[in-house]
Every structure is written in C-alpha cells, then in structure tokens.
C-alpha cells in the first residue's frame, strides 16, 4: 500500500483521473462535471467541507492525488442526495463521494481522527467477523467505549432508559453479547468478500508507481 501512496502524479495530466475511473465507484463521471457549483451550494453540510464536491472533481482533474484522498471532505457526506437531485449534468455525486472515501480508506489515506471512517471500520469488522450479520448490541457498545472506559460508562448510563425500553419491548436481547447469530453459509460469504477485495486490489495495483 505504501508504494501505491507514493505514486507520482503530474499536475493537470489525466493519470489520477484514470486511476479514479478504474477504482472509484462511478468514477467515470468525474470528467463530466461542468463546474457549475450547484452541488456545493446544495450540500447542507457544505460549509464544513474542506473542499466542496465540485472542487474535489476539479482537483482530481488537476491531478491532486494526495490532497483529494487525504481530504476529510467526502467523509462529511450524509447521503441526503440533494446534490444528485440537483446536478444539471446528472452526476451521481453522493455515490462518487462514497466511492472516493472507500478508495482512500483502502489505501490507508483516510484521515485518522475523523469519526465517520472509524465507525465505518467498526461496522465492517462487526459484519465481517460476526458471520455476515451486524450485531447491534456489540456495535453500539463498541461505539460507547470508542473514546475510553470512563466515556463509555458515562454514555451507557446516559442511554440507560432507552436500553431498558428496548429490552422490555423485546427490541434488544442482552444475551447477544455472547456471540449472537450469523447468516447461512457465513464462511462462503467471507470467501466471496475476500475474493472481491483481491480483485479490487489487483485493479488498484495497476496504478502503483
């Protein structure tokens, strides 16, 4: 991976654009952006983005590989789909943002102290190791204790009433903490996911420096 990070990309050349097209979900749409800025204006979290979507697209075309992939921007996307609904060029902007985030994470370039990639990793580990199903109790607790034991206990106490309510209305089973249940043929699912990752990595390897 580290070699991949170091790939030299010349500015205003199509290398990085081609890399994005090959590896990022819906990445082939990036070149079609006409820089009107409607997406940036429509994003409810726009003011918090380091680079608004339309700028991200221009940065990709300008070959700013590190800056794009290390950016926290696409991790702010809440999938509200305002940008997709309004884009006059009909770019699937939300999907591209998630695609870019995913690609950056795979390359190990996603920002370390941003909450969204952390949660995404918990979610994935929970699903991948938990036999193809998300164990909500375990996922919730791992989030409570994400920032240490004291924080975790505080959060748990704060959420006590909701937990009790869910327990009495049979929305939560405390015994799930001891393993829980998995989907059928969880080993087969794991194999399929491993194969998919293998294919993706082979594709990305073409762009190693």
Partner 1 sequence: MAEKKLGAYICKGCGIGERLNTDQLANVATREGKMSFVKQHDFLCNSDGVAMIQADIDAGTVNHLVIAACSRRAKTDAFNFADVAISRANLREGIIWVRPATAEAQETTQEMAEDYIRMGCAEVKFINLPAASNEQSLVRHVLVVGGGFTGLTAALEIAKAGYQATIVEKSASLGGVAAQLHKRIPNCSPFAESQSNGIAELIAQVQGNNNITLHLNSTVTQTSGAPGRFEVKITQESGSTITANFGSIIQASGFKPYDATQLLEFAVGKSPDVVDQLGLEALARQANGGKIKRPSDGKAVQSVLFVQCAGQRSNKPGHLPYCSGHCCLTSVKQAMYFKDSDPNIDAMVVYTELRMPGAGGEDFYRSGQNKGITFTKGVVSEVIPNSGSLTVKFNDLILNEAVKQEFDLVVLATGMVPNSGVNIEEVVAAPEEDKTEAKTATAAPVETKLAAESILNLDYRQGPDIPQLVHGFTDSHFICFPYETRRTGIYAAGPVRRPMDMNQAAEDAAGAALKAIQALENAALGRAAHPRVGDLSFPQFRKEGCTQCKRCTVECPFGAINEDEKRYPLFNEARCRRCGTCMGACPVRVISFENYSVDTVGQAIKAVDMPDEFSEKPRILLLACENDAYPALDMAGMTRQEYSAFVRIIPVRCLGSVNTIWISDALNSGYDGIILMGCQKGDNYQCHFVKGSEIAHYRMSKIDDTLKQLKLETERVKTYEIAITDIQRVPQLINEMANTIAKIGMSPFKF
Site of interaction with partner 1 (CB under 8 A): 11-14, 17, 31-32, 34-35, 54-55, 58-59, 61-62, 64, 89
Closest contact distance (angstroms) between CB of 19 and partner 1 is 13
Element (H, E) at 69: helix 65-69
Closest contact distance (angstroms) between CB of 56 and partner 1 is 10
- 92 and 82 Cβ atoms separated by less than 8 Å: no
| Distance separating alpha carbons of residues 106 and 101, to the nearest angstrom | 9
Tell me whether residue 21 or residue 176 sits nearer to partner 1 (CB atom).
21
Tell me whether residue 13 or residue 203 sits nearer to partner 1 (CB atom).
13
| Distance separating alpha carbons of residues 96 and 16, to the nearest angstrom | 15
Helices within 75-174 (DSSP H only): 82-86, 93-106, 115-129, 136-144, 149-158, 160-168
| Distance separating alpha carbons of residues 92 and 39, to the nearest angstrom | 11
Tell me whether residue 58 or residue 166 sits nearer to partner 1 (CB atom).
58
Distance of CA 196 to the CA centre of its chain: 17
Tell me whether residue 64 or residue 102 sits nearer to partner 1 (CB atom).
64
Tell me whether residue 60 or residue 131 sits nearer to partner 1 (CB atom).
60
Closest contact distance (angstroms) between CB of 129 and partner 1 is 42
- What are the tokens at 82? 């305002």
Closest contact distance (angstroms) between CB of 172 and partner 1 is 49
Rg of the chain over all Cα atoms, to the nearest angstrom: 20
Closest contact distance (angstroms) between CB of 135 and partner 1 is 44
């Amino acid at each position: 991976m580290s070699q991949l990070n170091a790939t030299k990309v010349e500015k205003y050349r199509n290398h990085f654009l081609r890399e994005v097209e090959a590896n990022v979900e819906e990445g082939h749409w990036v070149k079609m952006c006409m820089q009107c800025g409607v997406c940036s204006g429509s994003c409810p979290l726009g003011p918090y983005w380091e680079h608004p979507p339309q700028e991200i697209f221009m940065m990709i075309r300008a070959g700013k590989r590190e800056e794009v992939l290390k950016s926290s921007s696409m991790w702010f996307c809440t999938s509200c789909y305002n940008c997709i609904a309004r884009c006059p060029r009909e770019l699937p902007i939300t999907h591209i943002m998630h695609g870019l985030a995913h690609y950056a994470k795979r390359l190990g370039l996603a920002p370390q102290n941003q909450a969204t990639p952390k949660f995404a990793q918990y979610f994935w580990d929970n699903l991948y190791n938990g036999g193809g199903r998300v164990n909500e109790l375990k996922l919730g607790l791992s989030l409570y204790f994400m920032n240490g034991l004291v924080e975790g206990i505080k959060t748990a106490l704060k959420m006590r009433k909701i937990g009790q309510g869910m327990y009495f209305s049979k929305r939560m089973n405390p015994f799930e903490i001891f393993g829980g249940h998995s989907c059928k043929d969880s080993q087969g699912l794991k194999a399929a996911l491993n194969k998919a990752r293998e294919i993706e990595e082979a594709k990305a390897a073409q762009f190693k420096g």
